[in-house]
Chain A
Amino acid sequence: MTEVAVGPALPPDVDRQLEGLPPAELAIAVLTYNNAATVPAVLDAVRKGLEKHFAGAPSVLINVDAGSSDATVARLAEAGLPFVRAHHEAPASQLAAVPFHGVPGRGAALRLAAAVARRAGVRALLVLEADVTSVNAEWLERLARPVLEQNVDLVMPIHARHRYDGTITNLVVAPLVAAMFGRRLHQPLSGPRALSARLLERLAAETQWPQPGRSVADLWIIGTAIGAGLAVHEARLGRWRVESNTRTTDLPTMVAQTLGAAFATMEEYEDLWLATESGPPLPVDGPPVLPSDETVQIDVERMVGAFGRGLRDLGTIWEQVLAPETYGDVLSLDIEDLTRFRFPDDLWARVVYDFALGHHWSVVYRDHLLRSLVPLYLGRTAAFVLATRQRDAAAVESGLDAVAAAFARQKPYLVDRWR
């Protein structure tokens, strides 16, 4: 017998709630912060999903709340499902300015949800976001069934998104995370996911959970699951629609928070990525869902203009961050003629890696470093739009495959300079 990890102690009020709880196989955790307007839609999907797909499996609804001042918690409590409520501590700064994922102290919320689910003895924990209103019954099935029936340990979503949605994810975070962990996930920062009891056990044994406010626990959980050799799948879900008043839409903030989280994860968990090699593609479950085809107004010229202003104004910072050769290649990009503007994938990968190294060595003040990447990101995004806007969906996909391949190809460049 191996010793069972004790895991973190639960707050006494949560302990009391667990004592009276009937046994459950499936836990559904909803992480919340002032989401009273949107939790009814989430609850509706949960009820229908349980009824349609998991009628025989007893379940429990877990709410971990960051300190909502509206009716969020009450609405969840009235859902009529076996219910455990918990409150997690969130950094004060995140309560004032809510991070991109919408939940102040999301890492602490995930940790608490995982601990409650583990203590409830469930076989699968499904995590849902409280402000994503496009959730439906099928999401529950696609995420949880592989865990309950196929011995999968972590199921991550692939949402059907417009080709120019998620440009930070597609062009920066996903290729970076894929190169780090050696396995490509399409949307590593997306919130919904399902975790197995085995993964919960593994996480409970970890004492080095990310500090709140620094690395985002989501990335660490993915890296831990892959690093432990657990089975990770992706599941195709439908569209992803957020109705939130708190998630930021300020691009520099989004870039700083997401990339900052990835860089902080690299910094704190070198063992999860430095020596990791690429593995085979992860299995993807479910039929493809057609992405949204609504017309999107993208102002490429303005993006290239912002990139040009970055070249003019941020040279002093970029010069410190980028390797001389990389900086020279960036300076020689032709922005005068949009029909000829390109941003090669390998150059882009080296730019992002130089920023990772600049963050690692604190070459410039980290907040400013992250924000100074924004014009470069806009330049790369503009080049991506220019290269694909007349092409079909398959060309967009292969464009993203090429970006991911470049990040994987350039990884030794990063690793060599990291130590």
Chain B
Amino acid sequence: MTTSSARDWYKDAVFYEVHVKAYKDGNGDGIGDFAGLTESLDYVQELGVDCLWILPMYPSPLRDDGYDIADFYAIHPSYGTVEDFQKFLDAAHARGLRVITDLVMNHTSDQHPWFQASRSDPTSPYKDYYVWSPSDHRFADARIIFVDTERSNWTFDPVRREYYWHRFFSHQPDLNYDNPAVRRSMLDVMRFWLDRGLDGFRCDAVPYLVEREGTSCENLPETHAILKEFRAVIDQEYGGDRVLLAEANQWPEDVRHYFGNGDEFHMAFHFPLMPRLYLGLRLEDTRPITDIFTHTPPIPPACQWGLFLRNHDELTLEMVTNEERAFMYYAYAYEPDMKLNLGIRRRLAPLLDGDRRRVELLNCLLLTLPGSPIIYYGDEIGMGDNVYLGDRNGVRTPMQWSRDRNAGFSAVENGQLYLPVIADPVYGYEAVNVAAQARQPSSLLNTMRQLLAARRTSSVFGRGSIEFLRPRNSKVLAYLRRHGRETLLIVANLSAAPQPVELDLTAFAGATPIEMLGATAFPAIRSTPYFLSLGPHGFYWFRLERPGDSDEPFGIERTAI
């Protein structure tokens, strides 16, 4: 037996994405912190997720919600101390929960001491830590990502009297990964947190580490070489069970390279799938969803896609065609305030007009398509957003725990909260909160718990292959998931009207579909088309049991304990 932990635990895991500042205020200053998060771990455990993904927690001027890191070795004072973080991490581990945190590798805040030294002291060891140039004409083929705020990837620094390179905001200078000292420094940062027991990193903005003239400066071979070097060191020093999750907002064939031969990232987000789930739902047509899987290349066996419906950023539409994007804006962002950059800044429930059936349907797809699901905090209770809060703040409001003051998030006077709680009559905390939903058996929260519990009963969800059935009714999505001897059949109605469907399941003749949420046996499959009817946005999770598969009458079941 190896004493190292399950190396590929992330393949079975469900992730839960959390803002420290937004989850629970433990010290009563209006800002969530690690003390509050630690108090809330029972809730997280009971929800049935496996790993928390903590958004940036480092000291930062917070001009990009913490993605502008000013010190990699500390915790933002509003959130606590490194000791508080350690207590949180230990408490999570004690509950069998794992924790990964965000790490921004590509850039720092312009307030970071490295940058301050680099700009002001030509003799400093940090003088080449950033990408400096006397002109702003280099790397002209690189696109500008934040088109709403930035005009160039270069900004002139009046102190050093040179331009510095930044792919994101001008206050986030890119680190110079051609400098070996930068690579060593970043590895030391990773070691600092991994030594504390952290289970891995969600690595922000990885395609942009290295710049080369005449290229898009994205996904370059030199960038991959550096990432592989990092992975090898971490595997070697930490026993191979720490996970690296890539944020590479690229097409699947480009993202594929971030898995390497299983020697680069363990996981990467599947960005193009997510908008197509919404598109398929709005069009009531399975093709946007099935098509993207035909364009998804196979990945090495130990690797995994990260799937999500929403996250802390805008619902990004970079990975759809212009025509699809226009339709998405039309369907999901009918007010201009709802758009940001190339995306839509809304939460799951309001995006779907608060339609419980559609929320459950999309979660059904999230939990059953191949990959590890990532749930954004608050979406499990159907929290709303506030698009008038600017930037992406509208989806980063305090967690709605109860109908007490400040939604039970904090005991301070309202004005002191880092952001106001959602208080509108539909999605506000008085209508939507954990305490109320925990008590109501049919609430969205309890439905999510049931779906998550059902997902835990089979390794097929995280590890199985996928094969789409092609029923004539294109409003019904049906697919088989297989792993070893186990086969699951998922059937989902994308339409708001009831739908019939006939499925070709002749390969499974003799098998009995067992509906997994209610453990109900459906009529056995024969060599004729299998007929099902589905209610509006209804879905089934079936386990196909062949005769002799299980429920076998060993004769000891009824009294085995």
Contact = CB atoms under 8 A, between A and B. Distances in A.
B382 to A, nearest CB: 16
A275 interface: no
A366 B45 CA distance: 14
Given A93-B449, A368-B12, A258 B561 contact: yes
Interface stretch (A18-26, A221-229, A291-299): A291-299
A211 B445 CA distance: 21
Given A254-B560, A320-B6, A306 B453 contact: no
Nearest to B450: A96
B560 A167 contact: yes
A249 B556 CA distance: 9
Given A92-B46, A313-B485, A299 B554 contact: yes
Nearest to A258: B561
Contact of A361 (B5, B459, B555): B5
A96 B3 contact: no
B322 interface: no
B294 interface: no
Nearest to B485: A313
B2 interface: yes
- Size bracket of the A interface: 35 or more
A161 interface: yes
Contacts of A324: 1
A309 B485 contact: yes
Chain B residues touching A, majority SS = loop
A364 B4 CA distance: 10
A91 interface: yes
A309 to B, nearest CB: 7
B441 interface: yes
A92 B96 contact: no
A213 B46 contact: yes
Most buried by B among A165, A169, A299, A363: A363
B559 interface: yes
B450 A93 contact: yes
Size category, B interface: 35 or more
A258 B457 CA distance: 16
A164 interface: yes
A92 B441 contact: yes
A96 B519 CA distance: 11
A278 B556 CA distance: 31
B456 interface: yes
A417 B1 contact: yes
B46 A91 contact: yes
Interface centre among A93, A296, A298, A320 (most CB of B within 10 A): A93
A195 B46 CA distance: 30
Contacts of A192: none
B133 interface: no
Contact of B2 (A93, A302, A309, A320): A320
A358 interface: yes
Interface in A320-344: 320-324
B158 interface: no
B556 A381 contact: yes
A100 B561 contact: yes
Interface string B9-34: 10011000000000000000000000
Contacts of B457: 367
Nearest to B553: A299
Contact of B6 (A161, A252, A363): A363
A100 B558 CA distance: 11
B453 A365 contact: no
Contacts of B323: none
B195 interface: no
Identify the 4 closest CB pairs spanning chains A and B, nearest first. Answer: A298-B555, A165-B559, A365-B12, A362-B5
Interface of B: 1-6, 9, 12-13, 42, 46, 48, 95-96, 438, 441, 446, 449-450, 453, 456-457, 459, 484-485, 548, 550-561
